[in-house]
Structure 1
Amino acid sequence: MAVLSVLALALLSTGAAAKVCTNVTVPVDINARQGVFDVPVLQGNLDATTFAQNFTNIGRNFTDDALVDYQTVTGRYNISAKFCRPDQENGTNPTVQVLTHGIGFDKSYWDIPFNAYNYSYIDVAVDDYGFSTVSIDRFGIGNSSKGDPLNLIQAPAEVSALYEITKMLRAGTFPTVDTAFKKIVHVGHSFGSVQSYLLSALDPTATDGLVLTGWSLNATWLPLTLADWNVHLARLNQPLRFGNISTSAVQQAYSYLDSFGAGNTDLVEILDRALALVGIDISRQDIWEELATTEVGDIVNGVNETVTPIPQDLPTGYLTWVDFTANQFAFLLPGFYDLALGLFSERTKQPVTLGEIFTLGNGAPPTTPFSGPVQIVTGRQDVIYCGGDCLATGGVAESIPAMAQMAFPNASAFEAYIQPNTGHGINAHYNSTGAYHVIQQWLLSQGLGSS
């Protein structure tokens, strides 16, 4: 009842608010000790498959096999960020949430530009509860600096970037923001939760509260996930975004499609006519399924965009899952997400690096000395961290995420909340805003709201 009263007060006091956001490039000085791995340079998709076979082989520890040394990585790199605040801030002690996305996403995961932003986490946190937010593209991903996908873009370097951004927010030196935040909460999703956890172990004073979404301590199903992804080279999977295809090449493709006489915006019509010419009768729905949900759809993603994507020419050590069918298996619960949003997430997906795969939780300390409040929020049907049912514990705990309490022996408060009818990608489900309110409500109950 007390929490509901706090919620009602927050809604009444900020109901008319609207977020004001600024996109900013943040130079950070990275300093991280991380592994040196020796694997052959990937030449094609079969090499990516070989990597996945080696990594998921139950008879070997491929990370240890590939590790040949350690090195300290230093340098100045740029992190792309978006700072949002209420248009009218009440009080003098605002709280900022630092939002770190998981694999396959960028910072737009927290403010999805789909269906009038109805899935926006930031809208709920800022407009309804008066928080400020900083969402970042992790180092090596999105609009942040890219680099060697094997021995530079790894978890330790990404955590170092997150740490530097956190220190700026604490000191009042974050670009375009003149506030020195006394209360900083770190909210992560999946790999972003891993990094938030690592940050709290690196410096338990860096954060005042942890919200770890799409996460548990159980990594049993990570090999299953990699197998499901059937990883391909990102530059081959979506060549218009991740390869080196020029605008002129895209225009030539348009001209070629025009030669079929169907116009360059209806690929289903083009394929339908081509198949009819050779006597193959396939329904337009089946053609659409083939184009939209398999790698054919990924290859043509970008052809019909209003603005031709700028090719990123990523090295071959940047990988991605094969198509939307793999996307659904890992991230989405059938029947509880909008297919249009699912396909949007496929068109805008982000890659993962070899270095990230090697350091995905590898070497993470079993506990953190962090002494503030911790909340874990995971979808009931999360495949990656719960094997498809977060309540399937055999009676030894309330949920699989709840078992992570042992990693926070000094936490002032701990809660594991299981969001119903939700897969791993919480923010892409119909009921995502329900989870958002649970998080904000819990933060207020822990005294971490803006004041």
Structure 2
Amino acid sequence: MKNILYFASLGPLALLPIVAGTRTKSPRASLKQCVQLEVPVPVIADNHHYEMPRIDSTIDAVHWTLNTTAWSTPNATERITCTVSVKQTFRIRAQLCIPTKGGPRADILQIATQGRGFDRRYWDVEIRPEEYSYLDAAISQGYSVLTYDRIGTGESELPDAYDIGQIPVQAEILAGLTTLARSGKLVASSQILPATTGIPFPSPFHFQPSKIIHVGHSLGSFVTFFFLSSHGALSDGTLLTGFLLNKQLGTIVVSHFDHEFAAQHDPSRFAAYPSGYIVLTGQSDIQKLFFRKDGFEPALLEYAEKIKQPEAVGEYPSSDSAAFVPASEFKGPVLFMAGEYDYVLCGGDCRGQYLEEASRGLFPASPKVEAYLQPGTGHALTLARNATGGFGVMLGWLGDRGL
């Protein structure tokens, strides 16, 4: 079938609940069993040192934003002063969930990577999870799911924000987690933490998936792509949400949003975050970045503020200077998925902006490279009113492609 931008007509997917406001039920905690892990992930990667102002206060954070986006500032590649060779083991907090009743898809593992501003709770929203938890939606269809906090977020390690917290390291952490999962050694190599949900995990617990699907959102999709470009043979399929190659990509930059130095912004939450970590200032910026008016419930905006996470400034130039190397070893299907009115991706309107040929060129060995716009939705798909409709599209797409 020709690679097309799904929107008004979806063929078989048209039967799925994709209309804004449509909701379907997903499982409760009793239908899944989860284990909390602290995973040591060894990484070898080449980062870069970029010339940029340091951030040790909110005044510095505003200056960094203005300096980075000024027309006269050299681009990220021109600001590289040297290569930073990283050889380090990172402590990664993760959660592995499997369906309690097993099933034909229980040995298909989805590894989900969230974007900027969130930890792994992006995938498992705590407000009405039957409507907003992608993890529960995937479990209800029989999949197993691994979510984790990227370095610099949640309960994972907080590295140097300038030279270590960059895209190459994030991509190699995803590769490390994937390799452990494929080998069946993920749980055995980790520290098992006390908190579990559902039926207690067998001990010792062995889980070795037959297939692995990589799911990303926003920066997490960017990290996922760079993982696929280097380690494509480790993946059987990918859902790149909050990510769309389009004519407006790059027009909305960090200066469109207000950030503060994380430790100064909210010491009760972020005192442990060192120099170079910034965080969105408040709900107005969160709304601008992640939400579409009439497409979200106010309680979800308040929730996003409650769980928001700082960002390492090294992620910005390492994203801007990264070369899009085709994922030539990846042979699985690809779905790009964005909100119809995604501000950060498409300047507020993604309709008619998709670059199909360029997207296909990134995955030359893939049998399917397709794209889909979720109606009436902004950047944060799991927090939108029609989140479950989007989940239905994602999971239905996987099922139709044998995953």
TM-score range, shorter chain: 0.7 to 0.9
Q: Which residue of 2 aligns with 1:166?
A: 178
Larger strand proportion of the pair:
2
Once the two structures are superposed, the pairs formed by residues 282-431 of structure 1 within 5 Å of their partners are 313-369=272-328, 370-393=330-353, 399=354, 404-431=359-386
- Which amino acid in structure 2 is aligned with residue 66 of structure 1? R
Whether 1:436 and 2:391 are equivalent positions in the alignment is yes
Q: Is the 8 A contact 1:23 1:83 kept in 2?
A: yes
Whether 1:88 and 2:101 are equivalent positions in the alignment is yes
Whether 1:25 and 2:41 are equivalent positions in the alignment is no
- Pick closer, same or farther for the CA change 1:3–1:171 going to 2, 3 Å: farther
Q: Normalising by structure 1, what TM-score?
A: 0.77
Once the two structures are superposed, the pairs formed by residues 20-419 of structure 1 within 5 Å of their partners are 20-91=33-104, 94-127=107-140, 129-175=141-187, 177-218=205-246, 220=248, 222=250, 224-243=252-271, 313-369=272-328, 370-393=330-353, 399=354, 404-419=359-374
Q: Is the 8 A contact 2:77 2:321 kept in 1?
A: no
Q: Is the 8 A contact 2:61 2:261 kept in 1?
A: yes
Q: Is the 8 A contact 2:76 2:320 kept in 1?
A: no
Q: Is the 8 A contact 1:229 1:320 kept in 2?
A: no
Q: Distance in 2 between matches of 1:381 and 1:17?
A: 35
Q: Is the 8 A contact 1:338 1:429 kept in 2?
A: yes
Q: Distance in 2 between matches of 1:138 and 1:95?
A: 22
Q: Is the 8 A contact 2:131 2:387 kept in 1?
A: no
Q: Distance in 2 between matches of 1:411 and 1:17?
A: 37
Listed as ranges, the gaps of 5+ residues in structure 1 are 244-312, 394-398
Q: Which residue of 2 aligns with 1:301?
A: none
- Pick closer, same or farther for the CA change 1:415–1:147 going to 2, 3 Å: same
Superposed CA offset, 1:299-325 (max 9, x none): xxxxxxxxxxxxxx2113000122111
Give 1:365 shift: 2.0
Q: Is the 8 A contact 1:102 1:189 kept in 2?
A: yes
Give 1:335 shift: 1.2
Listed as ranges, the gaps of 5+ residues in structure 2 are 1-9, 17-23, 189-204
Match of 1:445 among 394, 400, 403: 400
* Secondary structure of 1:360 counterpart: helix
60-69 or 109-118, which moves further after superposition? Answer: 60-69
- Which amino acid in structure 2 is aligned with residue 331 of structure 1? F
- Pick closer, same or farther for the CA change 1:443–1:24 going to 2, 3 Å: same
Q: Is the 8 A contact 1:200 1:207 kept in 2?
A: yes
Superposed CA offset, 1:96-155 (max 9, x none): 00000000000010001113553000111012x100000010122111011111011111
- Pick closer, same or farther for the CA change 1:443–1:426 going to 2, 3 Å: same
* Secondary structure of 1:358 counterpart: helix
- The higher relative CO (CA closer than 8 Å, separation ≥ 6) is in 2
Q: Is the 8 A contact 1:17 1:86 kept in 2?
A: no
What number of residue pairs does the alignment pair up? 369
Give 1:40 shift: 3.7
- Which amino acid in structure 2 is aligned with residue 407 of structure 1? L
Give 1:66 shift: 3.4
- Pick closer, same or farther for the CA change 1:200–1:49 going to 2, 3 Å: same
Q: CA RMSD in A?
A: 2.6
Q: Normalising by structure 2, what TM-score?
A: 0.85
Q: Is the 8 A contact 1:79 1:138 kept in 2?
A: yes
- Pick closer, same or farther for the CA change 1:92–1:53 going to 2, 3 Å: closer
Q: Is the 8 A contact 2:262 2:278 kept in 1?
A: yes
Q: Distance in 2 between matches of 1:172 and 1:43?
A: 42
* Secondary structure of 2:132 counterpart: coil
- Pick closer, same or farther for the CA change 1:181–1:324 going to 2, 3 Å: same
Give 1:371 shift: 1.9
Q: Distance in 1 between matches of 2:57 and 2:83?
A: 27
